[in-house]
Amino acid sequence: MPTMSTQSGNLISVIMPCYNAQNYIAAAIESVLAQTHQRLELIIINDGSTDASEKVIQEFSDHRIRYFYQNNSGQCIASNFGLKEANGDYIKFFDADDIMNEDHLAAQLERLSHHDDCIASCAWGRFYDGDVQSAKFVPETVWRDMPPLEWIKAALRQKYDMMGAWVWLIPRKIIDKAGGWDERLSLNNDFEFSMRLLMHADEILFAPEAKLYYRSGSATTLSQTNDRKKIEAALLSNELGCSYLLQKEDTEETRRLCANRYQRWLYGIYPEFPDLQQHLQYKIAEFGGSTIRFDGGRAFQTLSKVVGWRMASRIKTSMRRFGYKKLPF
């Protein structure tokens, strides 16, 4: 268990936006209230839920919970509301469907002892269908102490560059400098926020004892949405985040990393939105081209070799539209 002698007096504000999370939020709340670091406030912002989320939240009577309701306005606006209400020396953004281990906050806080110009990160594992015990914590190249620029480049080199804001414990002075969430963004918003946040830190300090259980399958993903406004917001987040990186270091390597991220978005939205595809292709060329290939199963790769990835993607999309939930690739 982490030593808490130097940091136990610090107040941590855990900010939890909530939208239609009735099936998950009780477990999320319980994991926060069970922390070994007890000096915390849990700020829950109900973003106009239409399910029983409010009823579930109100079943908790812990004095550390501060509950607010707002008309449905989006996660970024809810998070900024929580940030304005927060009294803590440190800020933790936490999704209403995730779970943290009991030493999570104590471990991150201990890493930041006497380092208020740094941000703490954590280990995370993905789980499905409520089976928390099935979560696999697969070590990443960023699971160590790193300068922010090196952390970003290492994260972008990975196959999946997770930039979830739930990774961080953030000293108040850093988020005051970096600013809150960009309220124009509704999808992929963590990327812009995390990229901007890291630009204001001296170092990222990894807390291996802090574990976050990341629930998959309950939230809207790129593959599940054809909402143009959300896609445009996601692409704006990508563009802003990449611009922060290139302002810090504009090299062949960082341009290639940005091109690869644009390429992933091109793969993700194809065959929809031809004009957005054209924009992405332009940006990829501007950055010098991408080195990644379409990621799919063995059958998809085989089909791609015959008809090309674009046609293979069209076939896959058509099958989904006709109701095939389990595809052969």
Secondary structure of the chain in HEC code, one letter for each residue = CCCCCCCCCCCEEEEEEECCCCCCHHHHHHHHHCCCCCCEEEEEEEECCCCCHHHHHHCCCCCCEEEEEECCCCHHHHHHHHHHHCCCCEEEECCCCCEECCCHHHHHHHHCCCCCCEEEEEEEEEEECCCHHHCECCCCCCCCCECHHHHHHHHHHCCCCCCCHHHCEEEHHHHHHHCCCCCCCCCCHHHHHHHHHHCCCCEEEEEEEEEEEEEECCCCCHHHCCCHHHHHHHHHHHHHHHHHHHHHCCCHHHHHHHHHHHHHHHHHHCCCCHHHHHHHHHHHHHCCCCCCCCCCCHHHHHHHHHHCHHHHHHHHHHHHHCCCCCCCC
Predicted confidence band of residue 307 (pLDDT cuts 50, 70, 90):
low
Choose the weakest-confidence range: 74-88, 113-127, 292-306.
292-306
CA 16, CA 307: separation in Å to the nearest integer? 46
What's residue 133's pLDDT?
87
Choose the weakest-confidence range: 96-105, 121-130, 245-254.
121-130
What's residue 48's pLDDT?
97
- Which pTM value belongs to this model? 0.88
Predicted confidence band of residue 131 (pLDDT cuts 50, 70, 90):
confident
What's residue 217's pLDDT?
74
Q: How far apart are the first and last CA of the chain?
A: 44
Predicted confidence band of residue 156 (pLDDT cuts 50, 70, 90):
very high
What's residue 5's pLDDT?
40
For residues 251-272, give the mean pLDDT.
94
Percent of the chain with pLDDT over 70: 84
Q: Which residues pair with 214 in a beta bridge?
A: 126
For residues 102-106, give the mean pLDDT.
98
What's residue 161's pLDDT?
72
Residue 312, Cα to own-chain centre: how many angstroms? 29
What's residue 220's pLDDT?
41
What's residue 222's pLDDT?
43
CA 125, CA 4: separation in Å to the nearest integer? 25
Residue 195, Cα to own-chain centre: how many angstroms? 11
Predicted confidence band of residue 162 (pLDDT cuts 50, 70, 90):
confident
Q: Is the pLDDT of residue 329 over 50?
A: no
What's residue 84's pLDDT?
98
Highest average pLDDT, of 139-153, 154-168, 207-221, comes from: 139-153
Cα–Cα distances in Å, from 1 out to 50, 176, 192, 209? 40, 30, 33, 8
> Which residue in this structure is represented by tokens 């812990």?
62
User: 196-207 as b/e, with b when 16 or more CB fall inside 10 Å?
Assistant: bbbbbbebbbbb
For residues 49-56, give the mean pLDDT.
98
Q: Which residues pair with 215 in a beta bridge?
A: 127
Kindly report the backbone phi and psi dihedral angles of residue 214, in degrees, each rounded to the nearest multiple of 5, phi listed first: -95, 115
For residues 159-184, give the mean pLDDT.
93
Q: Is the pLDDT of residue 6 over 70?
A: no
Calculate ∠ Cα 57-60-66, nearest 5°: 70
For residues 167-181, give the mean pLDDT.
98
Higher pLDDT, 223 or 112: 112
What's residue 130's pLDDT?
77
Q: Is the pLDDT of residue 298 over 90?
A: no
Query: What would the pLDDT profile of 208-248 be if each residue is shown by its tens digit?
Result: 999 999 998 754 444 455 789 999 999 999 999 999 999 99
What's residue 179's pLDDT?
97
CA 228, CA 232: separation in Å to the nearest integer? 6
Find, among 123, 125, 170, the residue nearest to 144 by Cα: 123
What's residue 159's pLDDT?
78
